[in-house]
Structure 1
């Protein structure tokens, strides 16, 4: 359908249910790396469960809510980003992401999420973009900072983890802040 260049050989595009086999193969490569950071309902095993994950996002998009996009490098799915939620009436959305190790360190997530924020703010009129991450996920916290987000607070023991409950952090950027941040990056 469409792709958006991210630089080098990387593109961003819709991750739809018909790509379930490709998504399942990607999850097989990424599972161990992303499992500590994403929900168990996302890191599924097999084509049918992968299709169900993608279908949930397709259904969310049909309701003008959650939606998911993939990142391909040289034609291979290596990660992606999503609107975990999108509520135009409230003017609030939450963005999230994941990436397999082979694609890290290239700025793909920062550029990808920047495109999602651009669309949410400029096209859909979103006022507040949220980013929720485990407090110990340093890479995710650094992305939030690069995107000009501010830490709103810590949700203590908010998420179950393999070693017990974990703190989550909520970061956000307001539309006015995003526009200033985006402009400062262009200078």
Structure 2
């Protein structure tokens, strides 16, 4: 299946460089090669609070549902235990009509952790459980890692380069981040089921 997917991040300005390669790898693992993945840039949500408003997501659904098979909302968990319940609410309240599906996912604790999951050369003193539990892993782990790789001053602070590298190791990302594995399973289920069953 050549899935057409629109990824809706909480703020595309940095997240797009992480999400496009990793979500492309996720979609292709779920339903096969040939996925067309776009990152929503209109509207700019500008933060997680806007991405969690059903009215804002309904606007996006209304604008794009005829053009894609799946609208995928991805936000950072940011240590918020109630984030999953809020995403479930947004999915219900902003559900598309017709054949398009809407799925919302959360990155523990930020999307940059998915990038780190694909790396095999993290500093020896770093523990994966610590990275996953850290509320601000971008500042504590991702930025220092990008600097170690000589990418801190590169465009997008290394996100583009490192995310493409992580996407090539997608199985490792999925194995280390249970929310990625769960998201892949949901995507597979929704895209491979008949439209009437969605």
Given the two structures, how large is their TM-score scaled by the length of structure 1?
0.28
Higher strand share: 1
TM-score normalised by structure 2 residue count: 0.27
Return the structure number with greater relative CO, CA threshold 8 A, min gap 6: 2
Which structure shows the bigger proportion of residues in helix conformation? 2
